[in-house]
Structure 1
Amino acid sequence: MKPKFALLTAIATVSLSLGTAVAAFAQAAVLTSNTAGSRIRVRSEPTTQASAPHYGFAGDRVQVLWSTQGRDNYTWRYVKFNQSGAEGWIRGDFVNVSAAKAPISDIEAQRLQLQRQYSRYMNWNIQTVKQAMSHQGYRPSEDRRMQVAYLVKSYRVAFNYNDRTETVTGVQVNVTGQTN
């Protein structure tokens, strides 16, 4: 066997073995954020300067395939989303490995689904959101300065908005125990 061919075969074998080892050691995790409903950028490289072709939300379940220390001194996690299969880099402070060990309840899963659903109204005019919620059959449960809330199933969906521009600045979904 030629030495060059033997070397390339050895490199390929080690690379395939490491790829399998990385997959075998993938760690379950959950995306986390201090702001409910905020998008978490999934970047093409482990730096805030890289493009972000994907995003996730707090509560999304992922597999951490590997980690690295970025030039910006952040720990970065290369993740794969359980549901979509999308992959990319997320800054380590948005990835919670210990939270993945606890099973997600049906109530929390429904809350997260509603959080994602109504987060699409971010930056919309609050009057347009009120009309959309009215068309869906929901009536306000609370209407106060800079927040409008609705009961959706057993959850309270609250839209925070900027009083000056009347645009939605945040969405929170919480369990109420009440039904509408």
Structure 2
Amino acid sequence: MNVDELGRPWTDSGGGPIVVIAADAAEHWRGTLPPVGVEVPEGWIWGAAGGPECDYDRACDPPVFETTPFGGFGWVDVHGQPVLVLDSEVRTWFVADAAGSRGGILVRSSADEADDDPGNVPEQSWRTVGVDVISLSDGRLYMFDSAYSGAADPEQIRAFDGVGVIELGAGRWRVDFATNGDEVDFVRFRPAQGEQ
């Protein structure tokens, strides 16, 4: 599992979107592998014409999506659960809220001089995109390169630049998005109303 020098979970991708998926749904993410039970033409490999639509294909063109100057946010469904899609190849890390509170913020930035402090995002900048609440029975989210297959155990996910594990806790979580003037994207997770 990836943790940076500050102890923050992080990941990156090899060129495509990053997915943020509930731990109990991660084993159902197939990346560029064909969906289970779908007829696959003999000799087919991902990227060849005439094959099945894979989870990675869906992540590259989610039905719910908002473009940002830097990339964008979207959602796809896997095994009946919403999966967050973060477009663009960029380092993504999670900043937990201060001790004693629950939640935190994903930060996506590639510019060394950019203001990537989530504390500097004005409250009026936060908005929802499609899904506004997710439910976590396990309490964890895995974030990794969408081209790779998931697994129940994050150590078994062989994704480009590894897996970041976000520990939120079981319950319902509100998901909000913001982009600042330096084109840094943020995703905020807070306990949903009644879950504090």
* Larger helix proportion of the pair: 1
**Higher relative contact order (CA closer than 8 Å, sequence separation 6+):** 2
Q: Scaled by the length of structure 2, what TM-score is found?
A: 0.23
TM-score normalised to structure 1 length: 0.25
